[in-house]
Amino acid sequence: MGKPLIIAIDGPAASGKGTLSRRLANLYGLKHLDTGTLYRGVAWLMLRDDLDPRDAEAAAEVARAFDPEALGTADLRTPTVGRGASLVAVHEGVRKALFDFQRSFGLTPPGAVLDGRDIGTVIFPDATVKFFITASAEERAKRRYEELRVQDQSVTFENTLAELKRRDERDQNREEAPLKPAAEAEIIDTSKLTPDEVLGRASRIIDNIRKAMEA
């Protein structure tokens, strides 16, 4: 059996990471892990138990005991949980606790697409292919606002944009695994591309890399 194919996808909030990851996983017959759900899950459990996501010790303890089953049908996609996720994600102990699960998920044949903030830089520096997916803050906020307002009429575009910028800033400026493109990452700005166009670009790059590996 060949080496597992690992596709690392990083980028800021609502840039289109998940959309591209799901499509690539389908196209290449790989598993997909949205690693943001791990940080969102830890945050959700802490908020449920009235724990402060800024408390490094408490957050690391919840992350070490993390069992996705405990989440039940929890809604992880709310702005409150997103904010909590970026607060727990600054703690070294939390990131360490979630490291092994992400590695073994990717290394199990036939391989996987993982999306997050530090996949190409920290979790899989040895990934087969790395992408950094981005878009303007306004375009990303527009996309996120369209998603959120279906469930909650009180959300506004302005709040969504402000919250997204705050979260990006926290993710980019933290000491542990800050959000940044890996040195070898292929950067795709999706602001003016359709999901089909993004998939086309990414799959051409992957096919070329795989051909070069087989040659």
Ligand X SMILES: Nc1ccn([C@@H]2O[C@H](COP(=O)(O)OP(=O)(O)O)[C@@H](O)[C@H]2O)c(=O)n1
Structure token pair of residue 143: 């996309």
Q: Encoding tokens for residue 176? A: 């542990």
- Is 11 marked as binding a ligand? yes
Q: Residue 15 and residue 193: Cα distance in Å, rounded?
A: 11
Answer yes or no: are the C-beta atoms of 122 and 177 closer than 8 Å.
Answer: yes
Lay out the site mask for ligand X across 26-65 (x = CB under 6 A, - = otherwise). ---------xx--xx-------------------------
CB of 184 to ligand X, least distance (A): 18
Establish if 14 lies at the interface with ligand X (CB under 6 A). Answer: yes
Residue (of 105, 94, 103, 101) closest to 63 by Cα position:
94
Which lies closer to ligand ADP via its Cβ, residue 95 or residue 143? 143
What count of other Cβ atoms lies within 10 Å of the Cβ of residue 156?
Answer: 12
* 12 marked among binding-site residues: yes
Interaction residues for ligand X, span 74-93 (CB under 6 A): 82, 85-86, 89
Q: Examine residue 95 and tell whether it contacts ligand ADP (CB under 6 A).
A: no
**Residue 31 near residue 105 (C-beta atoms within 8 A):** yes
In the stretch 147-166, what mask flags binding to ligand ADP with x, by CB under 6 A?
x-------------------
DSSP 215: -
Nearer Cβ to ligand ADP, position 54 or 80? 80
Nearest-approach distance from CB 198 to ligand X, in angstroms: 15
Where does the chain have alpha helices with state H? 17-28, 36-48, 56-64, 79-88, 92-107, 137-148, 157-173, 195-214
User: Which residues of the chain form contacts with ligand ADP (CB under 6 A)?
Assistant: 11, 13-19, 143, 147, 190, 193-195, 198
